[in-house]
Structure 1
Amino acid sequence: MIVYDTRFNANEWFVIVGFCIGYGMLFLLPRRFSYKITLLFIICGIYSGFFYDHSLSVEPKDFYDVNDTSLYQPWDFLSYLMYGPLSYLFFYIWDCVRFKFRFAPLYIFAWGLVAVAFEKFAIVCHVFHYKNGYRLAYSFPIYLLTYSIWSALYYYFKVRQANAKA
């Protein structure tokens, strides 16, 4: 076990503030989706964070640790919940702006940059501790893949919704 910190400091504040701002935003934004779809879009972020962290931060790869120790802690779970509002915002903005599908790569690329900036700030706050040669640049293609999958999911539900109205 690696212990990076034993005090309540920047990484816990990052998680608390991110959680409060994110879920506060969810309640303040006008509703655009049904409750089921809203929940699905939130779960996309939570699941993606959980999936990638448990794919990349465990043996045999073990590219990084999250928060204060190399062991799973309650703060790690809260940090996964933080990703929910970010994924919802991805879908929400897309729906508000009504991007055409041909602009999807540009939107995905822009969100990839936003995600890398968010992760960089998380690194500065000691939420992530890279090891075994991992670098921030490696996260960018993962974000592009994730947002591409989310875009396909969004269009699936839009087409399904359009067919239901027809």
Structure 2
Amino acid sequence: MIIYDTHFNANEWFIMISLCFGFVCVAFFPKRFPRQVAAVFLMCGVYSGFFFDHSLSVEPISFYDVNDISKFQLMDFLSYFMYAPFSYFFFYAYDRLQLKPSYIPLYILVWSLASVGIEWLAVLFGVFHYQHGYQLAYSLPIYLLVQSCWVALYHGLKNRSFL
């Protein structure tokens, strides 16, 4: 077990402020989706964060640790909910913009680059600790894949008249 820190400091504050700010924004933005669909869009972020963190940060080769120690903690669990408002606003903006199909790849690229930027901030605040040669740039293809799946989900829900 690796211990990076033993105090409540920058990484925990980053998570708590991100959670509060994100969910306050979701609460105060005009409602755009039915409640059940909004919940699905919020959970897309939570699930994606959980899936990839547990795919990339577990033994036998853990490419990064989350927060203060290499073992799973409560703050690690809370960190997954930071992704919820991000995914919600991805869908919110996508629905609002009503992009032509030729602009969808650019939309996904912009959001993926923004995701890398936010991850970079999280690294600076000590939320993520890369190891075994993992680099921030390796996250870009993951975000591209995830957000492409989100666009497919959006269109699947729209085609089935859930939106």
Q: TM-score normalised to the size of structure 2?
A: 0.97
Q: State the 1:102 CA deviation.
A: 2.2
Question: Is 1:138 equivalent to 2:138 in the alignment?
Answer: yes
- Partner Cα distance (2:57, 2:69) in 1: 12
Number of corresponding residues: 163
Q: CA RMSD in A?
A: 1.2
Matched residues, percent identical?
Answer: 53
Task: Report the 3-state secondary structure (helix = DSSP H, G, I; strand = E; otherwise coil) of the residue aligned with 2:40.
Answer: helix
- Partner Cα distance (1:86, 1:117) in 2: 13
Give structure 1 stretches of 5+ with no counterpart. none
Letter aligned with residue 114 of structure 2? V
Q: State the 1:61 CA deviation.
A: 2.4
Write out aligned runs for 1:16-165 (5 A): 16-161=16-161
Query: 1:2 maps to which residue?
Result: 2
- Partner Cα distance (1:98, 1:61) in 2: 41
Structure 1: 4+ residue segments shifted above 2 A: none
- Partner Cα distance (2:9, 2:128) in 1: 14
Task: Report the 3-state secondary structure (helix = DSSP H, G, I; strand = E; otherwise coil) of the residue aligned with 1:129.
Answer: strand
- Partner Cα distance (2:104, 2:157) in 1: 15
Q: State the 1:101 CA deviation.
A: 2.3
Q: State the 1:100 CA deviation.
A: 1.9
Letter aligned with residue 157 of structure 1? L
Task: Report the 3-state secondary structure (helix = DSSP H, G, I; strand = E; otherwise coil) of the residue aligned with 1:106.
Answer: helix
Q: State the 1:22 CA deviation.
A: 0.6
Task: Report the 3-state secondary structure (helix = DSSP H, G, I; strand = E; otherwise coil) of the residue aligned with 2:71.
Answer: coil
CA deviation string 1:66-117 (max 9, x = no partner): 0000000000011001101100000000111111222110000000100000
Task: Report the 3-state secondary structure (helix = DSSP H, G, I; strand = E; otherwise coil) of the residue aligned with 1:65.
Answer: strand
CA deviation string 1:128-163 (max 9, x = no partner): 0000110000000000000000000011111221xx
Q: TM-score normalised to the size of structure 1?
A: 0.96
- Partner Cα distance (1:83, 1:28) in 2: 18
Letter aligned with residue 69 of structure 2? T
Give structure 2 stretches of 5+ with no counterpart. none
CA deviation string 1:9-64 (max 9, x = no partner): 10000000000011001100100000110000000000000000000000122000
Letter aligned with residue 68 of structure 1? D
